[in-house]
A and B are shown apart, each in its own frame.
Chain A
Amino acid sequence: MIASRVRFAGLAAFLLVGATACGAAPTTAAPSASTSGGGSAAGTDARTAASAADFGGLDKLVEAAKKEGKLHVIALPPDWANYGKIIEAFTAKYGIAIESETPDAASADEINALKTRKGQDRAPDVVDVSQSFAISGAAEGLFTPYKVQTWDKIPDNQKEPSGLWFNDYGGYVSIGCDAKKIATCPESFADLLKPEYKGKVAMNGNPTQSGSAFAGVYAAALANGGSFDDIQPGLDFFKKLKAAGNFNPVETTPATIEKGETQISIDWDYNNAAYAPKMAGKGLDWKTVIPSDGKYFQLYAQAINKDAPHPAAARLWQEFLYSPEGQNLYLGGFARPVLLPAMKADGTVDKTAEANLPPVEGEPTFPTEAQTAKAKEVLTGGWSAAVAG
């Protein structure tokens, strides 16, 4: 989720990490024998319930969640994949208050919060992390398995078989461009090298930190003869972009777009697409295209904290996110929900929202975790060498 989350991260996230690291020793707050844990009406323990059926049905889950009355979430920016509206809708529907903490935090901060606040009442109940962090978090035993009612419709390659994590929404790497200032907007990675885009091509963060920028390098690799096994052509591409003077190191934010400092930006399509209506009011014409030569699709994942202070509410939140209502809300924020193919098939998709998505042809493919890990290693070693100077 990082991209936007890292934006201000600058100081904020750094201090946050510092503070939690330093604060950990003296403030190991007393494990709250809190409110929550309690059994539901059916006598099941919400902490171990692995599906709504374990509660005795969705109604009983709602009942148990309402009794807890609260849900603690972290790293959900209101303007990211429509989370602002999703939180509103959930609260309106179930009357459960959501405490949204540090919206701009990154996946690493989320995992850190799970670890450092183990057993505390203010620990996040659920996390929304990039897939690698979902996998490593599951390996570290931080999550608890849960299968939402629509579980069977989630494609097998988008979920952990026991339900420790499951992907929620994602998007394609895209190129955003201010058509008011740029005569011809680029439509491929190859276009970005044209001299007319001198000093203009920015990214939403730094690829050794931001998920969207990392994906941008991966997509550039695919566009330049690389593969999921070989991200080096992506690094070479950015080296060329830098040598051509086209690479703009300023990290894209709505503010830099509005100012015209980042007139072309490589970012998730749901970010770029979501900027358009906002920027239209400010006299910009922000266009989003999925590059024709490098298509890279990636999803984020949901997981429930093993020691969630509000275990029933955490499970209800998942049921809500994976219901047609929740999935369509993601879609309303220009993100592509994981159940989109299933919902298209059964006709529950919000057709207007779907029509707003930047068009893309072909079916997405995904790198394996091993391929991603190797790509990250190559990137960490080579990125600053590629763009330094």
Chain B
Amino acid sequence: MTTDAGTAVRDGGRTRPTGWTAALPLLVFVALAFGIPVVALLFGAFTVRDPATKVSAFTTANMTESLRGNYLATLLGSVKLSAVVAVLGAVLGTFLAQAVVTSRFRALRESVLTASGVLANFGGVPLAFVWVGTLGNSGVITNVFGLGDAGWSLYNFWGLALVYMYFSVPLMVLVVVPALDGLKPQWREAAGNSGATAWQYWRHVGIPVLVPSLLGGVVLLFGGAFAAYATAKAMVGSTVPLVTLQIADALTGDVLIGHENIALALSLDMIVVAGLVMAVYLPLQKRSSRWLR
């Protein structure tokens, strides 16, 4: 007996639409909004155009160029910054969220969550200027405490990481609070009644259950930091090598000519990096998500 999807539905005597038709508008939207730019990006990343003859030719030169020397350094710089922000942000965000969830003060929880919702979306040039005004070379706190003479500088890797944490930690709180709420008190009681220590409870119950959310948060934070542009541009210029700034230099400016396709190649590199991060995340997430059912 043949049982393909179509007959199965008919056999059941129900007129349920076969899965994907309902998703069709979404698929079309994704194909248009995401597919077209990707195709254009792929095409551009693998072509060079001779400005004089206007002839385009396929080549891997842009990709090769984007993966060496200064361009490679900016790509690695972005990965490093994003990884630091993602891991630190996830750890701090989780502890903060745990503190809030276990707190007996309802108002604290509400205010932290509301503040997180606002701060997670605070970025760009305004954020950069808030920090510059506070802890920059002539910032208020820098001046009051004489931090400049003590060697403090906001305009380096760790300064930028600190500023990125400003929106990353609240984002992590938002992501992980529902998961922490999902840890049933009964599990803890059951573990306690069976003689488990707090560490054993977290090691064997709490953390495994939280892993999908934690990983999801790390991926989200990584993506946010990896794609960030305006804050870094306004604050550190080119002193922290970042791939997004490099792409902007190649696309717009008064200096570089004919680097557009290298910018596209760099964008493709970014997509690959994001893809790799997702590739690590998805299987792990699948493995542990059964706990949350």
Residues of A within 8 A of B256 (CB): 108, 208-209, 376, 380
Report the separation of the CA atoms of residues A14 and B248 in the bound assembly, to the nearest whole angstrom: 6
- Interface band, chain A: 35 or more
Chain A residue at minimal CB-CB distance from B245: A206
Select the residue from A16, A107, A214, A250 with max chain B CB neighbours within 10 A.
A250
A209–B148 touching, CB < 8 Å: no
Q: Mark A228-262, 1 if CB is under 8 A from B, else 0.
A: 00000000000000100101111100011001110
Is B59 part of the contact surface with A, judged by Cβ < 8 Å?
Answer: no
Is A200 part of the contact surface with B, judged by Cβ < 8 Å?
Answer: yes
Report the separation of the CA atoms of residues A248 and B139 in the bound assembly, to the nearest whole angstrom: 13
Report the separation of the CA atoms of residues A34 and B115 in the bound assembly, to the nearest whole angstrom: 53
Report the separation of the CA atoms of residues A250 and B266 in the bound assembly, to the nearest whole angstrom: 25
Is A211 part of the contact surface with B, judged by Cβ < 8 Å?
Answer: yes
Report the separation of the CA atoms of residues A107 and B157 in the bound assembly, to the nearest whole angstrom: 30
Chain A residue at minimal CB-CB distance from B156: A389
Residues of B within 8 A of A388 (CB): 73, 77, 238-241
- Interface band, chain B: 35 or more
Chain B residue at minimal CB-CB distance from A387: B239
Total contacts A-B at CB 8 Å: 160
Report the separation of the CA atoms of residues A376 and B77 in the bound assembly, to the nearest whole angstrom: 22
Chain B positions 210-259 with a Cβ under 8 Å from a chain A Cβ: 229-230, 233-241, 245, 248-249, 251-259
Say which residue of B37, B233, B251, B257 sits within 8 Å of A136 (CB atoms): B257
Chain B positions 249-280 with a Cβ under 8 Å from a chain A Cβ: 249, 251-259
Is B88 part of the contact surface with A, judged by Cβ < 8 Å?
Answer: no
Say which residue of A14, A22, A211 sits within 8 Å of B255 (CB atoms): A211
Report the separation of the CA atoms of residues A105 and B252 in the bound assembly, to the nearest whole angstrom: 8
Given contacts A11-B229, A22-B37, contact A6 B136 (CB under 8 A): no
Given contacts A106-B254, A250-B132, A389-B157, contact A10 B230 (CB under 8 A): yes
B254–A387 touching, CB < 8 Å: no
Is A207 part of the contact surface with B, judged by Cβ < 8 Å?
Answer: yes
Say which residue of B40, B157, B238, B259 sits within 8 Å of A206 (CB atoms): B238
Residues of A within 8 A of B230 (CB): 10-11
A108–B253 touching, CB < 8 Å: yes
Residues of B within 8 A of A199 (CB): 137, 148, 153
Report the separation of the CA atoms of residues A199 and B239 in the bound assembly, to the nearest whole angstrom: 13
A373 to nearest B CB, angstroms?
8
A389–B239 touching, CB < 8 Å: yes
Is A185 part of the contact surface with B, judged by Cβ < 8 Å?
Answer: no
Is A381 part of the contact surface with B, judged by Cβ < 8 Å?
Answer: yes
B239–A17 touching, CB < 8 Å: no
| Sampled A-B contacts (11; CB under 8 Å) | A11-B124, A13-B252, A108-B254, A136-B51, A207-B238, A208-B255, A211-B254, A247-B239, A249-B238, A261-B133, A388-B239
